[in-house]
Structure 1
Amino acid sequence: MLHEHRVLTTHQIAEMAWPSVRAANLRLLRLYQWRVIDRFQPFVTYGTAPMHYVLDVAGAALLAREDGLELRDLEYRHDRAIGIAYSLHLAHTVGTNGFFSALVARSIHPGPSGRLVVWWSETRCAKHFGDIVRPDAYGLWHASGSPRTALEWFLEFDFGTERPDRLGRKLAAYAKLATSTGITTPVLVWVPTTRRETSVRRALASALANLDDPSLVPAATSSADFTGGRDNDPTAARWQPLDIRQPSLRRLRLAELSNVWPYLPAVGSSPSDPALAGGSDPARGLHPPSPLPPRPSDRRPSR
């Protein structure tokens, strides 16, 4: 996960794989001492930032050996891995990964409403689509119930640092990607505040109106403070589809968005284009890790 997503905080790691932060910290300390992972703590003006973890040399070597690769095939360098501590994009990367860890938490929650089947990081998306558009992530969510529905999407995690019209111009690139691949994939835009969401929706609506075929880019928006900051569950009824023909104020759950765009093709348990899935070979590096942690029964060594 650290190799795929570059950096994860203590809370995100605990949310995905441990019953408590204390249990996670005990294990993370051992891994840090063994140089499987490295860590840093960013400076913040108020309070204390959580510990941030990245992959270390021993961890990278283990990953490569597991898949029969050489360390150089991972394109791993420790100075580059720890260098994210000084990156201007650190907060954006951590925010996007927080969206991801929240989906994992909902997937393993007792009585889940669905599960996250596939998740590609910004880096992996750039390798596959970067010549046209650079999404912050790609996700595939399977909703529970009968009939079970699946929704795949690209994520635009807006941190409020770029002008809304620039965000709107990205829709033309997504339309080009849909035309090139023959696959229509919704775009979910996550913004920090409802006020910001209002201005972003205006820019997105204007951009959609200028497309030859707006149906190539189904879009929906939500804001982090929509529920008053109490719950950042991405699967909750917080998504507002963007339809310039039939504006609606109703907020939908993540699983319900597939009903808004009935013309979307059915998706299975993998990305629509199998050729994009990648594999463990030197040309592609590691395949995308399963977003969900192994079950307890899978962790026990064989006898």
Structure 2
Amino acid sequence: MIRHATPRPAHGPGSRYTARAATTRRRPARRTSPHPPAASPTATCGSPGCSTSTGSPASPPLLPAHPAPAPVDSFRPSQHGSAPEHYTLGPTGAALLAAHAGVDTTALGWRPSHTGRIAYSPSLGHDLGVNELLSHLAARARTTPGADLPLWLAESSCARRWSDIIRPDAYAHWQDDGLLLPFFLEYDTGSQTLPRVEAKLTGYAAFTTATGGRPALLIHTRTASRDQALRHRLARPAAELGLHVATSSADFTTSSPWGPWWTPLQPGGQRTTLTGLAAHWPGLTPAGGLEPSDADTPLTLPVPPLPSTPEIGP
């Protein structure tokens, strides 16, 4: 079966997009036999056990007239060659989350055009890269004793807090072996010029001055050559501004971003793990005013408490 890529919209993001979860497929007609079904064994239960005997054929289970709607939508990006299936929150999933949180779906930031806007977003590849890197860390934390990712703020959450100073792609806390690494993430795809990336450093220095927090800055690039170009450009200004910066690239961090792939920007810096960075920079401190659960995303909306159980008197 050939599956075509999602067509591009004629006007506006996702205007011609139809979520697959909202479509139905015609089922093939079921062939019927001219002969009645023969008797089949059925279970006849008695005491103390059950035995098998031949009797009337068992009735087939009742099937729903229509399949239950999926909680997610899916699409394949329009690109040359094949693309994997991409999944987003669908209307049913949004309704479930909203009911769980006791709010309307609009309070989640979800709209009917949600999937279409993501499918045709020019930053889709960038957003997927950020989420994949941090999702690997979250998965590692779930399977490794002592490791944890207690805080992860997405780009939109960071913008709501600090957009007047900085606009990182994410802010997170990585914890392992008793050490905490608070860090901003800049996920560099190579689309920005080196001077523009360098200009961001002054914002991170201003953040430290304004808030008193001193997180690390991790810059992740697509290739090792881009990594080297950034290191050559940023080493001097980062040192002058007193920033703790480490870089790496997707040539190393594809499936294990916690591993020994990060190199501090100081001259002679050696590759080390995220935990090694925390040990190398003991003066790091988290951004102020944040709690471990302070991630204002749809999945962390406050859940209304259950009604109190009335006390039963004697």
TM-score calculated relative to the size of structure 1: 0.70
Report the number of matched residues. 235
Residue 179 of structure 2: aligned partner: 149
| Structure 1 unaligned blocks of 5 or more | 1-31, 290-303
Structure 1 counterpart of 2:206, from 162, 176, 196:
176
CA distance in 2, matches of 1:277, 1:74: 17
Aligned to 1:233: 256
3-state SS in 1 of match to 2:152: strand
Which residue of structure 2 lines up, in the alignment, with residue 117 of structure 1?
150
Check whether the contact 2:168–2:184 (CA below 8 A) recurs between aligned residues: yes
Corresponding residue of 1:187: 217
Does residue 41 in structure 1 map to residue 93 in structure 2? no
The aligned counterpart of 1:86 is: 120
1:168 deviates by 1.3
Change (3 A) 1:97 1:277: same
Quote the offset at 1:173 in angstroms.
0.8
The whole-number CA distance in structure 2 between the counterparts of 1:262 and 1:253 is 15
2:268 maps to which residue? 248
The answer to whether 1:221 aligns with 2:247 is yes
- Secondary structure (helix, strand or coil) at the match of 1:78 reads coil
- Report the counterpart of residue 104 of structure 1 in structure 2: 138
1:264 Cα shift?
2.1
Equivalent of residue 158 in structure 1, options 188, 203, 221: 188
Match of 1:129 among 159, 162, 172: 162
Distance 1:272 1:287 in 2: 23
Query: Does the aligned pair in 2 maintain the 1:133–1:170 contact within 8 Å?
Result: yes
Give the letter for the 2:191 counterpart.
T
Higher helix content, 1 or 2: 1
Classify 1:106/1:287 alpha carbon distance in 2 versus 1 (closer, same or farther; 3 Å): closer
Which ranges in structure 2 are unaligned for 5 or more consecutive residues?
Answer: 1-66, 302-314
After superposition, the Cα gap between the structure-2 partners of 1:285 and 1:200, relative to the gap in structure 1 and judged at 3 Å, is closer
Show CA shifts across 1:34-71 (max 9, x none).
2421110113323x211111111222222222222222
How far apart in 1 are the matches of 2:127 and 2:114?
15
What amino acid does structure 1 have at the position aligned with 2:264?
P
Greater C-alpha radius of gyration:
2
Measured in 2, the distance between the counterparts of 1:130 and 1:101 equals 24
- Bigger drift between 85-94 and 218-227 goes to 218-227
User: What stretches of structure 1 move > 4 A for 4+ residues in a row?
Assistant: 275-279, 284-289
Q: Supply the distance in 2 between the matched residues of 1:43 and 1:143 (Cα, whole angstroms).
A: 40
CA–CA distance in 1 between the matches of 2:284 and 2:127?
A: 29
| C-alpha separation in 2, matches of 1:225 and 1:143 | 24
Structure 1 pair 225/112, CA: closer, same or farther in 2 (3 Å)?
Answer: farther
Cα distance in 2, alignment partners of residues 275 and 220 from structure 1: 25
CA contact (8 A) 2:72 2:90 kept: yes
SS in 1 for 2:113: helix
Alignment of 1:55-70 (within 5 A): 55-70=89-104
1:6 aligns with: none
Two-structure CA RMSD over aligned residues (Å): 2.5
**Using a 3 Å threshold, how does the CA distance of structure 1 residues 262 and 58 change in structure 2: closer, same or farther?**
same
Gap change, CA 1:259 and 1:276, over 3 Å in 2: closer
Structure 2: distance between partners of 1:261 and 1:204: 18
- CA–CA separation in structure 2 for the residues paired with 1:151 and 1:226: 20
- Check conservation: 1:38, 1:82, Cα contact below 8 A: no
Structure 2: how far apart are the matches of 1:59 and 1:97? Answer: 19
Contact 2:141 2:147 in 1 (8 A): yes
Q: CA deviation at 1:82?
A: 2.5
Once the 2 structures are TM-superposed, how far is the Cα of residue 285 of structure 1 from its aligned partner?
6.7
Identity %: 35
For residues 34 and 264 of structure 1, the distance between their equivalents in structure 2, rounded to whole angstroms, comes to 47
